[in-house]
Amino acid sequence: MYKKYVAKFFPRVHDSMSFLDKDIQNLQSNFTQILTSDCHYTTSEIINHIKLINNALDNIKLDYEFQRASKNLAKQMQ
C-alpha cells in the first residue's frame, strides 16, 4: 500500500529509488560475477577494492532509506 501511495503522489521519488536500487543491484551482481567466475583475473587488492565499493553501495542505499524515512516521519508529525 505504501509503495502505491508513493508511486501515485511522488512518482519521481519512487522512480529514482527503483532506478537506484536496480543500478546498485546490477553493480553488485557484476562484482559478484567478477569475484566468483574464473573468467577474470583478480588479486587480493582488487578483491579488497570490490568489497569496499560494495560496502559503499550498501551505505548509499541505507542513507537513501534514512532520508526517505525522515521526510515521511516529518510529514506525519505536522
pLDDT in tens, 31-57: 999 999 988 888 999 999 999 999 999
Q: Which residue has the higher pLDDT, 46 or 69?
A: 46
Q: Collect all residues with Cβ–Cβ distance below 8 Å to 21 and sequence separation of at least 6.
A: 61
Mean pLDDT in residue range 60-65: 88
pTM of the model: 0.65
Which pLDDT score, from 0 to 100, does residue 73 have?
A: 75
Are the C-beta atoms of residues 31 and 54 closer than 8 Å to each other?
A: yes
Are the C-beta atoms of residues 70 and 76 closer than 8 Å to each other?
A: no
Amino acid at 62: L
Residue with cell 536496480: 22
Average pLDDT, the chain: 80
pLDDT in tens, 1-29: 445 544 444 455 555 567 788 899 999 99
